[in-house]
Chain A
Amino acid sequence: MFGEKGYALVKELSRYEDSLPPYNTDLVNEVSNEIKLLIDQNKEDAQMTTDEGSGAPSMVSTIRIRHAAVKRNLRCLMAYHYNRIRCLRTMRWEFGSILPVDIRANLSSAESEPWQLICGQSVTGGVNLAVDLKPPKALYIEVRCLADYGNLELNDGSVILLKKDSRHYLPRNECEELIRQGVLRHIV
């Protein structure tokens, strides 16, 4: 049946909500092959109808159905890729410019290239565009340590021992990552 593979693609997407499954190259190829096949068949039939005039039975309904299947497949492909991009975008905010290895393995080559490009652009001229959505009130913040993390080296080279339940006053950009990871907590 037409469109079944596209449907399988979308189903896979809904199975892995909020995470990034490995890029399903086989299925995507199969769907695009199916699209190609359908278009070719449509072309042939259309040719026949115009050539022979009114003799042959009209193929218009067949062409219509095939065309609908093509459209549906296209929609499924679009949905699949769009959702992957969306997932990647949230990951960019969460993990920063360097992805964890297990996630990077799941990317297709077409996905990982723009990733490098975007990450390269967001740090232009020493300004990291991806850090704050709103301008921060203070450059330094007071944080509380929630876990025994060990030594943390700051950008200026000094080392800080992060021990559970100790309090620190640190540059904001240095602790943001750790706050996201749940090692530190911002004290307001």
Chain B
Amino acid sequence: MYVDDLKSDFYEFLTGKRIFLMIHYDIDSICTCKILQSLLKYKHILYTLAVVRSAEDLKRAYRENCNDVKYFILINCGGTIDIVEEVEAEEDVTFFILDSHRPIDLCNIYSNGQVRLLSSPEEDALVPDFHDVFREESDEEEEHEDDDGENENRAAKRRRLDEEEIIKRREKRLWEEKRNKLLFEYSQFTYYGKSSAVYMFDLAWKVNRDDKELLWLAIVGLTEQMCLGKIENTQYSLQIGHLQTHATKLRNRTCDADVVTSLKVNFEKDVKLNLYRHWSIKSSMKFSAYTAVKMKLWSLRGRQKTARASRRHGSSQAFRTMDLQLRKEFHETLERLSEKYGLQDITYATFTLQYGYRNKYCAMDIVLALLAILEASPKEKKPEELFNSALDCLSRTKKEVIDNAVERAKIITKTLFKTVQSALDMKQIISAGPFIYYIVQEGCVDWYMFSHPHILSLLAQFVLRAYVAMSRNRKASSLPLILSAPKNVEAGSCILLGIPPLCENSPKNFFGKAFEQAAERINCDASCDFFDTSYFEIHIKDRTRFFDALTALLS
């Protein structure tokens, strides 16, 4: 069931009730959670918060708390599974789900009030009609009743019934075929919908609680989707336009534009260089995925080119210590140069957050910093601790947390580049016919970073782009990529990620179903515990057979 009016049916409905928040372990959810927390505080709604990473976590959290709490809010999790069935929920428990994962499970959509979806239904997703998927069981019951009343003149009735029954069965078979077809079409692709943080910010706006801080959180949530390639570019542009109107409105209202140190959220054109504000331009250009792919920086010629380009504007000096004039002209210089080096679309629209004299962060920088906290922290830290420090990173008072995270994000960027470089140099990206694959070996530099889904997805995009840029194969851009990295060395499991080919230009992902079927074919024990089904976990020893099965399936 979709909730039409978030304000009255969700926010005001929850007033005075104890609720339980389940937050998925990703950046969009963390931003959403922070917006929601500030909304709940206004109404003095008591809540308990837990982090979930997989369906297993979700079930455990539910079991532990279902006796005390009757209202559960699930953020970016639970939408794609039949939640009532999965957790064996009691009648009086209500779930509110805000999930950007798609497709949403049909049982949740057609639930009778126990599951309430906070996102709005999408136009382009073809949700099958209720009657095409669910059918009342009465038909069979009737049959049974008929069986009972069959005492007198059995023979005559039997004949008539037989005909009826055959027709009925035929109808049923046809209906089932149609149902399976519809269900397959509906669940064939996994993809992402509108960012949950943007939904939550809209709610905050509707209840007149929007401010610049919340706007910034919504921006970070949206930027994460763009950065990890979860949504299409058009969708991103639409949403960013929507947020820009909010930014303009909020700026006018506070009238503090003339104060230099006030908190400002600015809509800006920025360049696709990772973290350059906190790094030097040279290193940023060298390691960023965009420039690396466009200028083929893993080759000697590419490196010479970038050396020349970066000599023109600034040098290996840290960006923040560069001359003010140079810094101001940086974007223009880069745009002028972009034609020469084939970097036409290097700029994109984004927001920057500015407060005080020294702090200026681009939304992308924050996303990378959060990613570094969530997925590249020392191993012994528990996810809950990392979640807490990610929340700290988003609050502006703890500068040292952000600074540390930015430093670590630089390491990630470097590692990504080096991994791609070595993959290309050693020719480790292998074509298997209908797809290409790359296996991150256990011994390679910082391999443990890639056992986390988000960094793995960054690597996947980077590898695919680099492969297409380098490959002589004309069909390269129409091949999807599968990436595999070790997940748990002791248990000997590895994580798989499939991403759609570049030419598709849409992040709709068909690997979820393909992985499932391939695992079925070779009969290996696979655990698909991720909410995003394009990730998969299998045993390392099954990997070769799994790839063979996939090749057979996809060709």
> Could you list which residues of chain A lie within 8 angstroms of chain B, going by C-beta atoms?
138-140, 142, 144, 151, 158-161, 163-171
Return chain B residues, CB-CB under 8 Å to A165.
382, 384-385, 388
Asked if B18 is at the interface of the complex by the 8 Å CB criterion, the answer is yes
Cβ contact within 8 Å between B44 and A139? yes
Bound Cα distance from A168 to B45, whole angstroms: 11
Cβ contact within 8 Å between A160 and B37? no
Cβ contact within 8 Å between B48 and A168? yes
CB < 8 Å A-B pair total: 47
Cβ contact within 8 Å between A163 and B49? no
Bound Cα distance from A158 to B46, whole angstroms: 11
A-B contact pairs, 10 of them (CB 8 A): A138-B41, A140-B41, A144-B388, A158-B18, A161-B65, A163-B64, A166-B384, A167-B48, A167-B49, A169-B45
Cβ contact within 8 Å between B40 and A169? yes
Return chain A residues, CB-CB under 8 Å to B37.
142, 169
- What's the nearest-Cβ distance from chain A to residue B53, in Å? 13
B47 touches which of A163, A164, A168 (Cβ 8 Å):
A168
- Please give me the residue from chain A that is nearest to B46 by CB atom: A169
Interface residues of chain B: helix, strand, loop or mixed (majority): mixed
B64 touches which of A161, A168, A169, A171 (Cβ 8 Å):
A161
Interface residues of B in 7-49 (CB under 8 A from A): 18, 37, 40-41, 44-49
- Please give me the residue from chain A that is nearest to B49 by CB atom: A167
- What's the nearest-Cβ distance from chain A to residue B74, in Å? 16
Total B residues in contact with A, Cβ cutoff 8 Å: 19
B46 touches which of A151, A161, A163, A170 (Cβ 8 Å):
A170
Return chain A residues, CB-CB under 8 Å to B65.
161
A-B contacts besides A140-B41, A158-B68, 8 pairs, CB < 8 Å: A140-B44, A140-B46, A142-B37, A144-B388, A159-B67, A166-B49, A168-B46, A168-B49
Give the 4 A-B residue pairs with the shortest CB-CB distance, closest first: A165-B384, A167-B49, A159-B68, A169-B47
Asked if B50 is at the interface of the complex by the 8 Å CB criterion, the answer is yes
> Could you list which residues of chain B lie within 8 angstroms of chain A, going by C-beta atoms?
18, 37, 40-41, 44-50, 64-65, 67-68, 382, 384-385, 388
- What's the nearest-Cβ distance from chain A to residue B449, in Å? 23
Cβ contact within 8 Å between B41 and A169? yes
Return chain A residues, CB-CB under 8 Å to B46.
140, 168-171
- What's the nearest-Cβ distance from chain A to residue B398, in Å? 10
Return chain A residues, CB-CB under 8 Å to B50.
163, 166
Interface centre among B18, B64, B67 (most CB of A within 10 A): B18
Return chain A residues, CB-CB under 8 Å to B45.
169
Interface centre among A158, A167, A168 (most CB of B within 10 A): A167
Return chain B residues, CB-CB under 8 Å to A160.
48, 68
- What's the nearest-Cβ distance from chain A to residue B20, in Å? 10
Bound Cα distance from A165 to B61, whole angstroms: 13
Interface centre among A142, A158, A161, A163 (most CB of B within 10 A): A161
Bound Cα distance from A168 to B64, whole angstroms: 15
Bound Cα distance from A169 to B388, whole angstroms: 15
- What's the nearest-Cβ distance from chain A to residue B47, in Å? 5
Interface centre among A166, A169, A171 (most CB of B within 10 A): A169
- Please give me the residue from chain A that is nearest to B64 by CB atom: A161
- Please give me the residue from chain A that is nearest to B50 by CB atom: A166
Bound Cα distance from A151 to B68, whole angstroms: 10
Return chain A residues, CB-CB under 8 Å to B67.
159
Return chain A residues, CB-CB under 8 Å to B49.
166-169
- Please give me the residue from chain B that is nearest to A162 by CB atom: B48
Return chain B residues, CB-CB under 8 Å to A139.
44
Bound Cα distance from A161 to B323, whole angstroms: 56
- Please give me the residue from chain B that is nearest to A153 by CB atom: B68
Bound Cα distance from A160 to B65, whole angstroms: 8
Return chain B residues, CB-CB under 8 Å to A163.
50, 64
- What's the nearest-Cβ distance from chain A to residue B29, in Å? 14
Bound Cα distance from A4 to B119, whole angstroms: 82
Bound Cα distance from A166 to B64, whole angstroms: 12
- What's the nearest-Cβ distance from chain A to residue B548, in Å? 43
- What's the nearest-Cβ distance from chain B to residue A125, in Å? 24
Return chain B residues, CB-CB under 8 Å to A159.
67-68
- What's the nearest-Cβ distance from chain B to residue A81, in Å? 46
Bound Cα distance from A158 to B47, whole angstroms: 12
- What's the nearest-Cβ distance from chain B to residue A183, in Å? 15
Bound Cα distance from A31 to B444, whole angstroms: 80
- Please give me the residue from chain B that is nearest to A144 by CB atom: B388
Bound Cα distance from A89 to B436, whole angstroms: 74
